[in-house]
Structure 1
């Protein structure tokens, strides 16, 4: 372990990634519902941005490890009185937490906090930068299904420009030897990322087709004409899914806009791993929390 923090997958080597995946497999197979591995440790879930899956998944992971959990909501905190994120985190550090799981909208703030605080930080999503534990559970899902990630062809379809999930998956997948291709409208492409862009028909030929949530709030900014137009051009429809390879799987980080980026009938179809991904979030986050506090 190079650092007590988990800020992102960029720069993390394959041995370290594999170590987390292996430990997650251990926790998934563990018969014990609750362990005492982190007894006496205090973890604060500090979410300055709304979340359902990620926050509850982390809380479940922490409690299964035996940690004491503090849940922070910015809507009920002094942040509403003008307190800075830094001062809020320094307050939590001062009262004795050992680690903080943090999600925030500004990009770059998490890295600054890591350099100033003496508690372990876990990135639960920062701006448009990274979402490392989501990518780790995606990698875990692929490895468990196919046996190995190396050599897989993975298509990531959607709003790449604003997606922290796409970035973390790109870094983790390429480090493990997978081939990543993006598919997105011109207005949603991130040219600085090192992956080719393909058409939706080409994207369907992959072993894994990962759809990203369409952020419908971006309609006002003109990035997409309408939800209906997006579905027609880039959505995973039943017809398009019928052209996927027989062994291929469908993934999505959720929340899902049913009938926009993916048809309702496909969300829980046989080849969909969407809810399987969610289930894998707990053992992955157990491995991550254990890692930063051990």
Structure 2
């Protein structure tokens, strides 16, 4: 069964098949699957964990509960041994979120399908797919669009996954961030130079927990320099949309009154996450993007 680990390993044909399959699920198509899944979340999560559980429920899968705080991980059990345990008892797929970047490299030899629910500051493929689906749903294409990704690039698995996939699919991608948050990627710190001609403004959460002990911005200063203010939103193209993977720091990355404005697709992204994860589960358990 195929794994879903990184957008860097996905071909355009597979991506588009998954987007179109999600569209079918959104339209009401249902294809119950047989199989058992475990969600192994070693980091906090609301949207990813709950939408996977909803997707699993809608697909008719058996979901075994797993809580890190009550598992043998507290006794020092390795991730490899946990996944091998799941494999041994007959689990068909595991969805894993882990703080270690590229944690999946240690799972070589495991036969259970692995779906990456986020690895440290590395990749978040299902978030990227739901973002691509939201953009495709809006514009009917991805090629040729101008997408501006704004925020904590160095620590954002969402930015890295999306920048890679969007460029691969033919979009023009601009990264906006303070220079010290670029993570070595080519970027600009002048959001106002790009706000008027972008089709998609994709905002990123400022990951305060990864800046402990480092110099950072006040909420007010960050919002003024890099946030989507009311003034900036007014300069956007009529057809342009606003996205954010959430959780949202209101008044920091985006003005509170814009979170649910007419061009915001933030909560639509969350809804789309269920359909994309249904398609991903089908892909992992059947071996193909139908």
- Tell me the TM-score normalised to structure 2 length: 0.94
**Aligned mate of 2:70, from 72, 76, 79:** 76
- Give the direction of change, closer, same or farther, for the CA distance of 1:188–1:96 in structure 2 (3 Å limit): same
Which residue of structure 2 lines up, in the alignment, with residue 153 of structure 1? 146
- Where in structure 2 are there 5+ consecutive unaligned residues? none
Q: Secondary structure at the match of 1:154?
A: strand
1:241-280 matches, within 5 Å, as 241-280=233-272
Q: Secondary structure at the match of 2:225?
A: helix
Which residue of structure 2 lines up, in the alignment, with residue 116 of structure 1? 109
- Asked if residue 216 in structure 1 is aligned to residue 214 in structure 2, the reply is no
Moved more, 218-227 or 12-21: 218-227
Which residue of structure 1 lines up, in the alignment, with residue 162 of structure 2? 169
Q: Is the 8 A contact 2:38 2:93 kept in 1?
A: yes
- Asked if residue 204 in structure 1 is aligned to residue 195 in structure 2, the reply is yes
What count of residue pairs does the alignment treat as equivalent? 285
- Give the direction of change, closer, same or farther, for the CA distance of 1:218–1:123 in structure 2 (3 Å limit): closer
- Asked if residue 24 in structure 1 is aligned to residue 22 in structure 2, the reply is yes
Q: Distance in 1 between matches of 2:182 and 2:51?
A: 30
- Asked if residue 285 in structure 1 is aligned to residue 277 in structure 2, the reply is yes
Shift of 1:223: 4.0
- Where in structure 1 are there 5+ consecutive unaligned residues? none
Q: What value does the CA root-mean-square deviation take over the aligned residues?
A: 1.4
Shift of 1:225: 2.8
Which residue of structure 2 lines up, in the alignment, with residue 90 of structure 1? 84
Q: Distance in 2 between matches of 1:120 and 1:152?
A: 33
Shift of 1:30: 1.5
- Asked if residue 107 in structure 1 is aligned to residue 105 in structure 2, the reply is no
Q: Distance in 2 between matches of 1:148 and 1:252?
A: 19
Q: After the TM superposition, which segments of 4 or more aligned residues of structure 1 sit over 4 Å from their partners?
A: none
Q: Is the 8 A contact 1:131 1:164 kept in 2?
A: yes
Q: Distance in 2 between matches of 1:47 and 1:256?
A: 20
**Aligned mate of 2:8, from 7, 10, 15:** 10
Moved more, 121-130 or 67-76: 67-76
Which residue of structure 2 lines up, in the alignment, with residue 48 of structure 1? 42
Shift of 1:228: 1.7
Shift of 1:158: 0.2
The Cα offsets for residues 53-89 of structure 1, whole Å up to 9 and x where unpaired, read as: 0001001111111110123221121111221111111
Shift of 1:48: 0.9
Q: Distance in 1 between matches of 2:61 and 2:212?
A: 43
Moved more, 218-227 or 251-260: 218-227
